[in-house]
Structure 1
């Protein structure tokens, strides 16, 4: 008996959870656009550097774990940083920064229009 791949679960709104097969065409388009926008957010590798700074970000506010040298991180337009997996999952539910609640898509779209 062949095992089936699990059907991806998406969040058309932050409080709704539906299987990919249950999404309307409009919701599928919105989620595809959201995935595309997330992929355009800059990524990097966490490197605390050698300068001790009181303001230096030490933990991902989503998972509450300290950043470790080499962790894959993503930068939001508001300059907050998060683990890539944490923020990508967050942004699939809500397109706002979890720290400052700044809408990510508006800032992202504005930065494209200015280029």
Structure 2
């Protein structure tokens, strides 16, 4: 019978957030206002459309071959997210990026402005 060290099992990493692009803090160190802003940002990110990379589905996607964040080629079946400016990225790459900066890494278009204006017109 193996003896396990309970102190290692009980250690759960505390999430790290970026209240502003230049700041990095543990979730336990955020102010209430920062927690609210981060929760709102997570909510907005979840409203962005996602899909699966399929280079044969649409001819316009053929020229998009790599995620500009990780510089890795898209592979058929990769989970992707679409920004309002129509740029696509790996889901995990863009979600992490948007937690730091709410602009498209390719065209620098503010993502929240496009999202908020789409809500106002609906």
TM more than 0.5: yes
Specify which of 36, 52, 57 is matched with residue 43 of structure 2. Answer: 36
Shift of 1:30: 0.1
Shift of 1:49: 0.5
Higher helix share: 2
d(CA) in 1 for partners of 2:73 and 2:50? 18
Shift of 1:113: 1.1
Query: Is the 8 Å Cα contact of residues 56 and 62 (structure 2) preserved in structure 1?
Result: no
Instruction: Return the TM-score normalized by structure 2.
Output: 0.89
Specify which of 54, 71, 74 is matched with residue 67 of structure 1. Answer: 74
Tell me which structure has the larger Cα radius of gyration.
2
Query: Is the 8 Å Cα contact of residues 55 and 62 (structure 2) preserved in structure 1?
Result: no
- Is the partner of 1:82 in helix, strand or coil? strand
Query: Is the 8 Å Cα contact of residues 21 and 100 (structure 2) preserved in structure 1?
Result: yes
Match of 1:84 in 2: 91
Instruction: Return the TM-score normalized by structure 1.
Output: 0.94
Shift of 1:7: 0.3
d(CA) in 2 for partners of 1:15 and 1:76? 23
Structure 1 52/65 Cα, relative in aligned 2: closer, same or farther at 3 Å?
same
Which runs of no fewer than 5 residues in structure 1 stay unpaired?
none
